[in-house]
Structure 1
Amino acid sequence: MITKTRHHQRTILLPTLMITLPMTLLGGTAVAREAPEEEAMTIELDAIEVTAGVPVPGDPMLQAAKVSVLSGEELRERERFTLGETLDALPGVASINAGNQVGKPVIRGLSGNQIQILSNGIGVDYQQYGERHPPNIDPFLAGRIEVVRGASSLLYGSGALGGAIDVQAPAFEFAATGETLVGADTLFVYHSNKAQWDTGIKARASNDILSLDAGLMRRSAGNMNTPNAKTATESGNPSDPKFTGELPYTDFDQLNAQFGLGMLTDLGEFGLRYSQWNDENNFLLPNGTGIGLWLRNDELQLTGDMPLADGWQLKPTLSWQNNLRRANSAGTPRSAGYDGTIHLEFDRYSARFEAIHEHLGPFDGGTLGIEYSSKTQYSRGTTVLAPGGEVRNLALFAFESKDIGALTLQAGLRHDWHSVTGDASKTSAPVAQLEAGSGRDNHDYAVFTGSLGAVYRLTEELALAANLGRGFRAPTLFELYADGVHGGVAAIQEGNPDLEPEKSLNMDLGLRWQLPNLSGSATVYRNDISDYIYLQDTGRSEDDLPIFAFQQDDALLTGLELEARWQASDHLEFAGVLDLVRGTNDRTNQDLPLLPADSLRLEATYRFADRGPLREPYIRLGMRHSAAKDAAPGEPFAQFDHMDFGTASTDAYTLIDLDLGFALRGFDRQNARIDLAIRNLFDTEYRDFLDTYKGYALSPGRDIRLSLSVPFGG
């Protein structure tokens, strides 16, 4: 009989779903079940703590903010090509895609500059203003991913209006004194839809002082395939797509790597990490031509974890990021080489110092911190997608926690000094807003943010959580000064130098339960945003391209996240997630752009008993339903509702997925795994609302993903 310690609580995430199970912590491994008598054993489950967006690491059941964690086996099961696809089954999380590329996360209806992507706790930029600009992150190389929902500016500053996603490298592991640990994990994946091959390896070695790890992932894909439906030309129906079947100019190649060196000293643990992300890809344009892109991102981080006296812990982090984005003019694919149209590059330096403490005055634990970041950008292309300039930020913050019986209180304050400067001398093409005067235009902002939350444990199995958070986001260089053709979205975009910072007031109320066979949570939220920044169709056009300009109005987002799991027997379990989100422009009373459609996910998993060398066999049937949704007026790609092909508004659809897999016991008692995942089992014709190809193509057809993972060593 497998046993568990009573105090351990973790979350189970299946390939299409994350749900809380009894006696588990967010970020654990697969659910324990009866083992054959001949292999009866006891498993001690390690408690996994939430570290992002909370005052002190701890049980996610007792965090005021709604937090999800992917690590270990759950991350392995969920890991996909993009960050968005890896996370889009989590409650409140969706993904903006271009077919099966991009994978840009959406949290509670906000995306891009309005949520913060972090690398090991440090915010990163990736020119995220573009709907087709993906985070420069390979999920295979991650050791842990934490998602914090709701305003998170308290810890992460400008850009965390809707939440934050912290992608963390594998933790350094050290061997016992006199011992050495060596191991590796390999992954081989084939995707039938794009004839895509993924080949990756992660290796590690350590003794009691030094810890080394390295990872490499190579991904290469041909063109995407959609169902072979009739086109608008063939059917005469203008709502039908312009392209079906194999879509040209949807190929890509990636080569991503990561290296880490950790050291244990008498002062604490110190680490050096370097990562590089390289991507070359095409995008299909509405006129049937392609546009080529070359993307590269380098990161270097120095970290420390030093225990001090009286329960204090000092965690300094120094970080450098270099990001390069090059793109051709519309109609020039990557096979033609780079033509010099868009060339954006920036260096960003960050320093963050956190002091985590236990008891301090009336508080039971918390975090005090200071953070500084400096970004310098150059725009060297012939078209100004975003200008050159500088962005600076200095912040002081404090986040504290207090337990009073069954009640846990959490509160914090932060102050940011933020500046954005457009600089014509760092921009090779003319920028109208910067040409006058000195060629420099500076905007300074000083903003207070904070949060107040509480968790009340009604019983050992039932808790009520509430959280009130204030967030802010300063306008970006792109939003202030953009001036040119954005080929990836087939539009001209114009900045607005009069933009004010966005400010939000986010309120959450959630009920969380962990019964022996039934578990889950229900959360409602309301996010009031003043001076919400968005692109609006001006009604003007140039060279047959629509012109979009930035403006701002107050806005309101509300939503419901419901998740539940029923363990019907030792072998059979059912699970489901319901997501509803509404967003309204207060001035126009119209929908906000890029909101995900209402969605429902259901699945049933049957886990078979082990037989001989066959371990942990399972089969899972899943259903994804998305409601119909109308495109908001002026929304990016909304023009396709008025063209002679395609659509920006989408119909409801239901997709069926099938997963099955098993492990094979190896000679060293390690299990190799074989998994088969079939998405869109019946090759259903559909267009997802957040698929940026929806205007002129269907969303991806059936994809059969066959993966083999083989571990070596310890």
Structure 2
Amino acid sequence: MINAKTLQPIEGANVIGKGLFSISTSEGTFTVKNVDQGIHSLTISHIGYSAETATIEVGPTMDTVKIYLRESATELQEVEVNAKTKKRETQERAIVSQTVSKDFLDKNRENSLMQTLKNIPGVSTINIGSGQSKPVIRGLGFNRVVVVQNGIKHEAQQWGNDHGLEIDQYGVETVKIIKGPASLQYGSDAIAGVVDIQALKLPIQNSMKGEVNLLGENNNDLLGVSAGIDARTNKWFYRGRLTYRDHGDYKVPTDKINYENYIFELDDNNLRNTAGQEADASFGIGFISNNLKSETTFSNVNAKNGFFANAHGLEVRTSNIDYDSSNRDLDLPYHKVNHFKITNNTSLGIGNHTLYLDLGYQNNHREELSEPVPHGYMPTPPDNKERIFDKNTYALNVKDSHSPNARHDIVAGVNLEYQNNNIGGWGFLIPAYNRFTIGAFAYDNFEIHRDLHLLGGLRYDYGLLNSQSYFDWYPSTRNNNDGSTSYIYLQRAQNTTLDFGNISASVGLSFIYNNTTYKVNLGKSFRMPLANELASDGVNYHMYRYERGNLDLDPESSYQLDLDIDHSNASFSFGVSPFVNLFENFIYLNPTSNYYETLQIYEYTQSKVFRAGGEIRASATILQNLELNASTEYVYSRQTSGAKEGFTLPFSPPLSGLFSANYQFKNFLPFKKPQLIADYRITASQEEIVPPEEKTEGFQVLNMSFISKIDVFSSDAPVDIRVKLNNVFNTKYYNHTSFYRLIDVPEPGRNLSISLTIPF
């Protein structure tokens, strides 16, 4: 394909024939595979050129065919452009948010999606082993952060400290992170923020492409493969992905662990029984026309992960299991989880209205297995199934986006969700329950003038929780006043019905001045108490404590003021995002002075909490090839009432800074666009704790990466290669927000990973 005037190759020209399609490369060439012999007619078109038709005879011997396209121009009387870029839309909304691109995800990919996102200022994780983690935004996590995928809230057993997030990160292209209250649009649990996994981009017409991702790591001997494909005809499109990962125990830079004054020796630095497996599959089918777009997605995530044997109480001291026989064995205790999800996302344009409909069904089936060990009056359990959770969630979101004129962007909607959570196993912790929530909202993004926008909205939520009674499966002994003894089945939970309702509101301003955006937002949000906070009454052996709920808990109410200043130009950017947050009745698990069969009793209670902090970020490009980035984040928390008045909150992240340098070299040997990246994280000590937490010393960790493209099969589709070395100096350090921090387990040691992305 050649420009008839300049004789230069033309990139991006469409080549279309009967059942044939291709796009020209930067060299102007195109390839059509699996073409039958004979005469074929091809139409070649490109914006700015007159279309040409070429007749080509395909046979055993063929000559090179040159096709010349002539430039063409169409004179238009008047052109009016109304669309806005994604960046401009984000600037105009007074919400502190950040969009994470596919390029960032590929460069920073770790063992889970949330660990990949931890380099975003204000985002951290609660880690559970080597492949599981849950999000923390500005020091708040669990059910205070909503994770959304395909417009539907991801609902699992995220209330548990040791429960990870069941999402295949290889099927993720873009993530939007909202910092601060987002209950206005997302509902009750978004009191701290949102991780919104955006819909995948549409494939281009008459195309098919895919990729294979290969991953290997030496710290835990991980081997992983993921293959994805998408295709589109004219109006129909399809997607599919399969992922499998298998890893052994991960290594830590120590040979012994001190837990409850017991010293556990580690074999070859392996954190015994932390091996795991994961198998994921997804398929999507969609249809698009001028005013209608609809896609249905099926996905299933299946994982089996071991728990560090010595973390599950202290029974391992008397266990007959040889945990050190192999670093790939999955022995007791371990968990199995399967998350099945169906979603449908439909949008319909009618005049200046756009209707959005999201439907979702999820089943989360989780089994926690451990050795059957008797406790107190409990005899030896009949099997290994300590706890079973089976949760079904049905969701419906309806939203209307309406622009009556160029100055208003009005959105109104309704969210409905129904949860049915059943339990099993011999270890009771939370009761079976049903939960129904409904919320209605409306907001308007009003253009005062081109660079000044006002965002205001209101929402009302109502929720109904019905928890079921539960009796122990074994009798306990009770001494009566008359000196006799009774054997009774203790009741751990009652049939209870509770309802909650509250208002959320938000108002904010966004002002754009040249290259700087100023935002201020004041929001009020709330969160309904969960079943574990209201009605738990049992032993949590993962934490080796007795947990008791409180039916008198009120919904959490939060008021937050957010500011954001962001300046950017071609070579430099700077941003600062401070916040102030007040909780009227923060819910937390409080250790008491009471004991149940030698186990300390923890009770859910509430207190007033004051929080403040924020993030600072900067980026500069030097000499075109060197990019420097720096960010820092800090959260201050203080309970101002209640039993722990004067203390901070659990899992509060310390002051932390991340400095990175990215240098792009010139092409050399087979490497195209090679980049060398260094990340240096400095984290201060965490002296502010809530017992039984322990103070955590500060640390410094260096990670290095090499990223490049290699023309292996074709220059049109180079292979992406990434070599990453985490914890370069094998530093022994503790992450204060790690689940295993409570039992003196440090973070993983040095880890070399190699990944390949092979397009086809």
Q: How far did 1:367 drift? A: 1.2
Matches within 5 A, 1:440-479: 440-457=495-512, 459-479=513-533
Q: For the residues of structure 1 that align with 2:387 and 2:445, how far apart are their CA atoms? A: 47
Q: Deviations over 1:584-628 (max 9, x none)?
A: 111101111111111010011110122364211011122111111
Question: Which residue of 1 is the match for residue 302 of structure 2?
Answer: 278
C-alpha displacement at 1:426, in angstroms?
A: 11
Query: What is residue 250 of structure 2 aligned with on the other side?
Result: 224
Q: RMSD of aligned C-alpha atoms? A: 2.6
Rg comparison, structure with higher value = 2
Q: Does 1:617 align with 2:665?
A: no
Letter in 2 for 1:292: Y
Query: Cα deviations across residues 264-313 of structure 1 (Å, max 9, x unaligned)?
Result: 2465011111111111111113338352101111110122111111x211
Which consecutive unaligned segments of at least 5 residues does structure 2 have? Answer: 1-25, 27-82, 317-331, 374-380, 475-488
Q: Aligned partners of 2:186 and 2:384: how far apart in 1?
A: 37
CA-to-aligned-CA distance 1:359-384 (integer Å, 9 cap, x gap): 35x95213110111111111122222
State the distance in 2 between where 1:534 and 1:48 align: 43
1:522 equivalenced with 2:576 (yes/no): yes
2:657 counterpart of 1:600? yes
Residue in 2 aligned with 1:485? Answer: 539
Q: Could you tell me which of 85, 106, 118 is aligned with 2:148?
A: 118
Distance apart, 1:408 and its partner CA = 1.1
Structure 2 partner of 1:397: 441
Q: CA deviation at 1:510?
A: 1.5
SS of equivalent to 2:686: coil
1:626 maps to 683
Q: 1:238/1:356 Cα in 2 relative to 1: closer, same or farther (>3 Å)?
A: same
Partner of 1:261: 285
1:705 aligns with 2:753: yes
- 1:454-603, aligned counterparts within 5 Å? 454-457=509-512, 459-587=513-641, 588-603=645-660
Alpha-carbon distance in structure 1 between the residues aligned to 2:382 and 2:241: 29
Work out which of the residue numbers 222, 228, 245 in structure 2 matches 1:196.
222
Q: Is 1:659 matched with 2:705?
A: yes
Match 2:737 to one of 687, 690, 694: 690
- In structure 2, C-alpha distance between the alignment counterparts of 1:624 and 1:162, rounded to whole Å: 24
Kept after mapping to 1: 8 A contact 2:573/2:618: yes
Native 8 Å contact 2:341 2:362 kept in 1: yes
Task: Name which of 172, 184, 188 aligns with 1:154.
Answer: 184
CA distance, structure 2, for counterparts of residue 443 and residue 247 of structure 1: 43
Please tell me whether the aligned partners of residues 388 and 426 of structure 1 are also in contact (alpha carbons under 8 angstroms).
Answer: no
Cα distance in 2, alignment partners of residues 592 and 253 from structure 1? 33
Letter in 1 for 2:254: N
Distance in 1 between residues matched to 2:562 and 2:146, nearest whole Å? 19
Query: TM-score by structure 2 length?
Result: 0.79
Partner letter of residue 725 of structure 2?
A: I
Structure with higher RCO (Cα < 8 A, 6+ apart): 1
Query: Secondary structure at the residue paired with 1:581?
Result: strand
CA distance in 2 between counterparts of 1:427 and 1:349 reads 30
Paired with 1:272 and 1:426, the residues of 2 have a C-alpha distance of 42
Contact conserved, 1:344 with 1:386, CA < 8 A, in 2? no
Counterpart pick for 1:411 among 445, 448, 456: 456
User: Given that residues 183 and 191 in structure 2 are in contact (C-alpha distance below 8 angstroms), is that contact kept between their aligned partners in structure 1?
Assistant: yes
Structure 2: how far apart are the matches of 1:411 and 1:302?
A: 29
* Alignment partners' CA distance in 1, 2:725 and 2:382: 35
CA distance in 1, matches of 2:139, 2:382: 37
1:274–1:582 CA distance, 2 compared to 1 (3 A): same
Cα shift at 1:240:
9.1
- In structure 1, what is the equivalent of residue 469 of structure 2? 424
Q: Is the 8 A contact 2:586 2:607 kept in 1?
A: yes
Which residue matches 1:323? 364
Deviation, structure 1 residue 229: 5.0
Secondary structure in 1 aligned to 2:420? strand
User: Counterparts of 1:239 and 1:87 in 2: how far apart (Å)?
Assistant: 35
User: Relative to structure 2, which stretch is displaced further, 210-219 or 612-621?
Assistant: 612-621
Structure-2 separation of matches of 1:76 and 1:273: 23
Give the counterpart letter for 2:349 in structure 1: P
Q: Which amino acid is 2:466 matched to?
A: T
Q: CA deviation at 1:545?
A: 3.3
CA-CA distance at 1:241 after TM superposition: 8.2
CA 1:433–1:511 in 2, change beyond 3 Å: closer, same or farther?
same
Greater Cα offset, 205-214 or 539-548: 539-548
Aligned to 2:481: none
Q: Secondary structure at the match of 2:135?
A: strand
Alpha-carbon distance between aligned partners in 1 of 2:152 and 2:472, rounded to the nearest angstrom: 27
Structure 1 letter corresponding to 2:746:
L
Deviation at 1:171, TM superposition (A): 3.1
Quote the residue 2:40 is aligned against.
none
1:269 aligned partner, one-letter code: K
Q: Distance in 2 between matches of 1:186 and 1:428?
A: 50
Contact 2:472 2:492 in 1 (8 A): no
User: What are the superposed Cα offsets for residues 129-183 of structure 1, whole Å, 9 maximum, x if unpaired?
Assistant: 11221111121111321111100000111111110111234233241xxxx3111
SS in 2 for 1:87: helix
For 2:265 and 2:403, how far apart are their aligned partners in 1?
61
Counterpart amino acid of 1:672? V
Secondary structure at the aligned position of 1:489 is classed as coil
Q: TM-score, normalised by structure 1?
A: 0.84
What is the CA deviation profile of residues 543-568 of structure 1, one whole-angstrom value per residue up to 9, with x for unaligned ones? 44332211111111111200001111
Question: Of residues 202, 208, 211 in structure 2, which corresponds to 1:185?
Answer: 211
CA separation of 1:629 and 1:49: change in aligned 2, threshold 3 A: farther
**Which amino acid is the alignment partner of residue 545 of structure 2?**
A
Q: Which amino acid in the other structure matches residue 353 of structure 1?
A: V
Shift of 1:239: 11
- Work out the CA distance in 1 between the residues paired with 2:222 and 2:372: 24
Asked if the contact 1:242–1:697 (Cα under 8 Å) also holds between the matched residues in 2, the reply is: no
Asked if 1:302 corresponds to 2:367, the answer is: no
Taking structure 1 as reference, are residues 477 and 584 closer, same or farther at Cα in structure 2, changes over 3 Å only? same
Distance 1:535 1:431, change over 3 A: farther
In structure 2, what is the Cα distance between the partners aligned to 1:663 and 1:123?
A: 36
Q: Which residue of 2 aligns with 1:28?
A: none
Q: Quote how far apart the aligned CAs of 1:515 are.
A: 2.9
- Structure 1 contact 104–112 (Cα < 8 Å) conserved: yes
